[in-house]
């Protein structure tokens, strides 16, 4: 069994700088010529996009609610096998999971044997961080706390107080990231912005400079060397090749895609990407159209102006083509989308519904989706709402077992809903069989279906 540096970047709470430090570390290690494999705890699909840009290798989600323990081990071992270093960004606070610590970054670190480096926001603290560090070291017995990196440090003098606090708490200190104007990542809808105007490369290099300047990377890497792939797990049963051609929307408006979902689609056949913003037609001969989530609300004029693509999607769907659409992809299938400022833009008109951003209100959380006697898992995250009436082909529950009203629509061969589904261990084509059965139930219950 080989050993290599493996790091999970955790924090005491959200907003402490996990993402900034992670991106700087990924880029700094890449600039040293190391092959760095990034991972992300939880369902976030935006952090993984930025990891990929910073590291030059595609990031992978590790989510204990949507994936089994064996599958998580298989993903980590498989994608990290040829890397020199594995860096995993945690989610929320280190112990915050979907049910207490269950599903937390700490639980993932314990499952995979990854040493934890805690990022502590020190902008309003000095020696007082000592009991915080002492608490994490002694409360989280199931993890190995390798050390701490302080974020938003005001000066060398400030850092000396923090360094002493870490030493007195018995926690190794690897250095700090200085409080610097221009290294705060702009946020949008609680997610990192994908604006073309945000110069990510320059940002990533700037943070990497700060990390390299004040973090002892050699000491950090050495402290986090542990055996790799200690608990092998069998991969999910491969899907039978179907010879399909699968068209996946991917551009600035549609890009919330789990890497393993695409890998699973490739087992069914050829995956081809296209842009609803730029292309005038769907890829020829497609057997399945996948419209993932994203930020269509920020590209309403361009999406609506591309009438050729809207007509192509409508004709494909109404002609019986199979369509799987999630969140932003579902909004694109509606008659129209109303922007935050009230303007209404025609969309594909596949679903007799209207999506609106007016009066935005966040809905988010894990979802257990049951339809036709089958269970799927995923995550809901959106500010928009749907206006119109179509029965749901499924019932959904949150992580604690409370039923939620989120629908999953079935219209012809179209399956669409707000929930971002994960099918790394299942067959996405089963959604069409399951929702067909669920739609029949919904039609009987509601007295209408079309």
Q: What confidence score (pLDDT) does residue 230 get?
A: 62
Q: Which residues contact 61 (CB under 8 A, 6 or more apart)?
A: 39, 40, 42, 43, 44, 45, 48, 258, 259, 260, 422
What's the pLDDT tens digit per position in 58-97? 999 999 999 999 999 999 999 999 999 999 999 999 999 9
Q: Which of 119-123, 198-202, 322-326, 357-361 has the lowest mean pLDDT?
A: 198-202
Catalytic positions, written as ranges: 327
- Mean pLDDT computed over 97-119: 96
**Whose CA is closest to 267, among 234, 285, 240, 249?**
240
Cα gap 52→49, rounded to integer Å: 5
Q: What confidence score (pLDDT) does residue 197 get?
A: 47
**Whose CA is closest to 307, among 343, 326, 279?**
279
Q: pTM for the whole thing?
A: 0.91
Domains by residue range for the chain, with CATH = 3-227 (3.40.50.300), 244-446 (3.40.50.880)
């Amino acid at each position: 069994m080989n050993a290599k540096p493996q790091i999970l970047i955790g924090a005491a709470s959200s907003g402490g700088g996990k993402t900034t430090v992670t991106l700087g570390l990924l880029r700094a290690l890449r600039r040293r010529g190391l092959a760095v494999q990034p991972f992300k705890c939880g369902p976030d699909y935006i952090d993984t996009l930025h990891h990929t840009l910073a590291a030059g290798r595609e990031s992978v989600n590790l989510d204990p609610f949507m994936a089994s323990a064996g599958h998580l081990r298989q993903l980590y071992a498989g994608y990290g096998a040829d890397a020199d270093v594995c860096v995993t960004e945690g989610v929320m606070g280190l112990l915050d999971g979907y049910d207490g610590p269950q599903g937390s970054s700490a639980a993932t670190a314990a499952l995979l044997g990854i040493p934890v480096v805690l990022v502590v926001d020190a902008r309003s603290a000095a020696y007082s961080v000592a009991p915080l560090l002492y608490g994490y070291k002694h409360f989280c017995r199931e993890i190995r706390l390798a050390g701490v990196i302080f974020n938003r440090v005001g000066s060398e003098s400030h850092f000396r107080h923090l360094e002493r606090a870490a030493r007195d708490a018995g926690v190794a200190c690897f250095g700090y990231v200085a409080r610097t104007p221009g290294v705060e990542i702009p946020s949008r809808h609680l997610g990192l912005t994908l604006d073309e105007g945000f110069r990510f490369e320059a940002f990533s290099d700037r943070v990497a400079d700060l990390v390299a300047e004040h973090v002892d990377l050699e000491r950090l890497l050495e402290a986090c060397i542990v055996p790799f792939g200690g608990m092998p797990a069998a991969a999910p049963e491969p899907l039978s090749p179907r010879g399909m051609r699968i068209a996946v929307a991917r551009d600035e408006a549609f890009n919330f895609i789990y890497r393993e979902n695409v890998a699973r689609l490739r087992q069914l056949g050829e995956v081809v990407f296209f842009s609803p913003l730029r292309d005038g037609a769907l890829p020829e001969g497609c057997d399945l159209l996948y419209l993932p989530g994203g930020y269509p609300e920020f590209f309403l004029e361009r999406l609506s102006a591309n009438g050729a693509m809207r007509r192509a999607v409508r004709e494909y769907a109404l002609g019986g083509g199979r369509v799987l659409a999630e969140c932003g992809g579902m909004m694109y299938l509606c008659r129209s989308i109303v922007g935050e400022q009230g303007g209404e833009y025609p969309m594909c008109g596949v679903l007799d519904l209207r999506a609106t951003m007016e009066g935005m209100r966040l809905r988010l959380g894990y979802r257990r989706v049951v339809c036709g006697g089958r269970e799927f898992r995923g995550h809901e995250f959106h500010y928009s709402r749907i206006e119109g009436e179509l029965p749901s082909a499924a019932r959904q529950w949150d992580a604690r077992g409370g039923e939620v009203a989120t629908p999953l629509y079935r219209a012809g061969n179209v399956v669409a809903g707000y929930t971002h589904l994960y099918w790394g261990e299942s067959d996405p084509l089963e959604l069409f069989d399951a929702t067909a059965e669920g739609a029949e139930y919904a039609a009987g219950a509601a007295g209408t279906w079309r």
